[in-house]
């Protein structure tokens, strides 16, 4: 699959970031330098890389880090969001007219890009959506192309309109539309002729079709294996004839994948589908967010970050942070934290995100069951005992233990642990508030 090497390199950079509780500006700059190298090596357009890094850097260095996240994760999150936005944010559907009208789609691209195959693949998608597509053989220069379209059309169970190689493509297109309106086809897909390189006569031919036929969508097919050439070809087609979107083929191959990251940014046109193999079913809708996750190899972290963003109450987190600093953290807060963790899933995953704790506690072996007894003990405490653990004398301990159904030694252990973690938190927050390491800033 494409992107393997890019993905591996980015993940190594992020591994370094994740391990750190706090990041300095220099850490971020160094990491972004490595990200930049990785993107350039993956053949991403250099202007795109430059803007991308600039944008990530501004956001990463300028921004207060959310108190529920470690700064490393925050940087990763920014890289991900920028990557999704680079590829166009949302998935783009091919625009179709209502079913009672004929939508004409003109497919274009260089020879060998995969245009004829993709045209047949697309027809299959429209058929699945309940449309009645008609494939039109407009490549009059290569008889083999007409045959290929007919064979693929048959495999897809889709009709193919052909007039052989003795007519001008624009006239074939007009005749096909007439045929479509008489026979109730509602999507007409024109498979136009490609050339080995961009040349004037190909562009003129496409323009002639566009000027004489009501083309609703012009879709360019480019080969991901050609890297930067795919981006240049997209730019040329867009400036000469105007395209509505791109289908990027052969992403199943061993391509470095730079085209997927550059096309939208360079042309302003979305990637609509990606070709993932030679079979007619190997065409996938292009989702920028899924592609970014694929490239960054970090679906799980993102889910976790999303959960944290959705579940953790910022104000509460800041209040807690203050309490930790002043060593006012009590059993109510402890309980609150456990509730938040439960809402979000696994305790071990969440610990690293807790305000003031960061990576220091991340390697500690923990599981959710360990907290069950603790919760029972805290719930057996009175309100006063929870907010002011100092009042818990031996007779209170006995009552709490009985209420929680545990031995009194468990209650002693928890109170002792609580006191020592309070001390540790105070020390840690002291350490973190040193110069250049202010909470919320790199």
Q: Is 72 one of the binding residues for ligand GDP (CB under 6 A)?
A: no
Stretch near ligand GDP under the rule CB under 6 A, chosen from 21-29, 64-72, 115-123, 414-422: 115-123
Of 115, 210, 386, 422, which one interacts with ligand GDP (CB under 6 A)?
115
Q: Is 114 one of the binding residues for ligand GDP (CB under 6 A)?
A: yes
Nearest to 172 by CA among 199, 145, 151, 197: 145
Q: Is 325 one of the binding residues for ligand GDP (CB under 6 A)?
A: no
Q: Is 19 one of the binding residues for ligand GDP (CB under 6 A)?
A: no
Q: How far is CA 132 from CA 174, 186, 413, in A?
A: 18, 5, 72
Residues 274-293 that bind ligand GDP (CB under 6 A): 275-278, 282
Stretch near ligand GDP under the rule CB under 6 A, chosen from 51-59, 231-239, 269-277, 305-313: 269-277
Phi, psi of 112 (to 5 degrees): 90, -5
Of 249, 267, 380, 429, which one interacts with ligand GDP (CB under 6 A)?
249
Of 229, 252, 284, 328, which one interacts with ligand GDP (CB under 6 A)?
252
Q: Is 297 one of the binding residues for ligand GDP (CB under 6 A)?
A: no
Q: Is 156 one of the binding residues for ligand GDP (CB under 6 A)?
A: no
Burial call 200-228: b when 16+ CB within 10 Å, e when fewer: eebbebbeebbeebebbbbbbbbbbbbbe
Nearest to 308 by CA among 89, 62, 76: 76
Contact predicate 17/75, CB 8 Å: yes
DSSP type of residue 397: H
C-alpha atoms less than 13 angstroms from C-alpha of 283 in its C-beta half-sphere: 22
Q: Is 112 one of the binding residues for ligand GDP (CB under 6 A)?
A: yes
Contact predicate 162/134, CB 8 Å: no
Q: Is 257 one of the binding residues for ligand GDP (CB under 6 A)?
A: no
363 marked as binding residue: no
Judged by beta carbon, residue 231 or residue 274, the one nearer ligand GDP is: 274
Nearest to 357 by CA among 368, 366, 311: 366
Of 68, 77, 103, 117, which one interacts with ligand GDP (CB under 6 A)?
117
Residue nearest to ligand GDP (CB): 275
Contact predicate 192/107, CB 8 Å: yes
Q: How many residues bind ligand GDP (CB under 6 A)?
A: 18
Residues in the annotated binding site for GTP? 109-116, 191-195, 249-252
Residues that bind ligand GDP in the complex, under the rule CB under 6 A: 109, 111-117, 194, 249-250, 252-253, 275-278, 282
């Amino acid at each position: 699959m494409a992107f393997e090497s890019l993905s591996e390199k980015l993940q190594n950079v992020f591994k370094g970031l994740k391990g750190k509780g706090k990041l300095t500006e220099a850490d971020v700059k160094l990491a972004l330098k490595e990200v930049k190298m990785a993107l350039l090596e993956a053949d991403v357009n250099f202007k795109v890389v430059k803007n991308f890094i600039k944008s990530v850097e501004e956001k990463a260095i300028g921004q207060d880090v959310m108190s529920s996240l470690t700064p490393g994760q925050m940087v990763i999150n920014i890289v991900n969001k920028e990557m999704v936005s680079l590829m166009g944010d949302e998935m783009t559907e091919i625009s179709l007219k209502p079913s009672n009208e004929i939508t004409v789609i003109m497919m274009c691209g260089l020879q060998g890009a995969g245009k004829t195959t993709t045209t047949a693949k697309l027809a299959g998608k429209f058929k699945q959506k309940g449309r009645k597509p008609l494939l039109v053989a407009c490549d009059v220069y290569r008889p083999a192309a007409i045959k290929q379209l007919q064979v693929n059309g048959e495999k897809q169970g889709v009709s193919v309109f052909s007039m052989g190689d003795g007519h001008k493509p624009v006239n074939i297109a007009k005749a096909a539309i007439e045929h479509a309106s008489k026979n109730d086809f509602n999507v007409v897909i024109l498979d136009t002729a490609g050339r080995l390189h961009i040349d004037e006569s190909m562009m003129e031919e496409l323009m002639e079709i566009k000027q004489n036929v009501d083309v609703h969508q012009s879709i360019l097919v480019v080969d991901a294996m050609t890297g930067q050439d795919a981006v240049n070809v997209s730019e040329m087609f867009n400036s000469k004839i105007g395209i509505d979107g791109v289908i990027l083929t052969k992403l199943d191959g061993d391509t470095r994948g730079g085209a997927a990251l550059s096309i939208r940014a360079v042309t302003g046109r979305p990637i609509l589908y990606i070709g993932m193999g030679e079979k007619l079913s190997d065409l996938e809708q292009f989702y920028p967010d899924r592609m970014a996750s694929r490239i960054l190899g970090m679906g799980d972290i993102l889910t976790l970050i999303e959960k944290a963003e959705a579940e953790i109450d910022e104000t509460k987190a800041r209040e807690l942070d203050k309490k930790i600093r002043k060593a006012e953290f009590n059993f109510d807060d402890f309980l609150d934290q456990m509730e938040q963790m439960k809402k979000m899933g696994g305790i071990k995953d969440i610990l690293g995100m807790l305000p003031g704790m960061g990576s220091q506690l991340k390697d500690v072996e923990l599981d959710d069951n360990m907290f069950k007894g603790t919760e029972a003990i805290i719930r057996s405490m009175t309100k006063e005992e929870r907010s002011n653990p100092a009042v818990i004398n031996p007779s209170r301990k006995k009552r709490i233990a009985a209420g929680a159904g545990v031995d009194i030694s468990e209650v002693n252990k928890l109170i002792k642990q609580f006191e020592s973690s309070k001390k540790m938190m105070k020390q840690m927050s002291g350490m973190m508030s040193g110069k250049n390491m202010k909470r919320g800033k790199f």
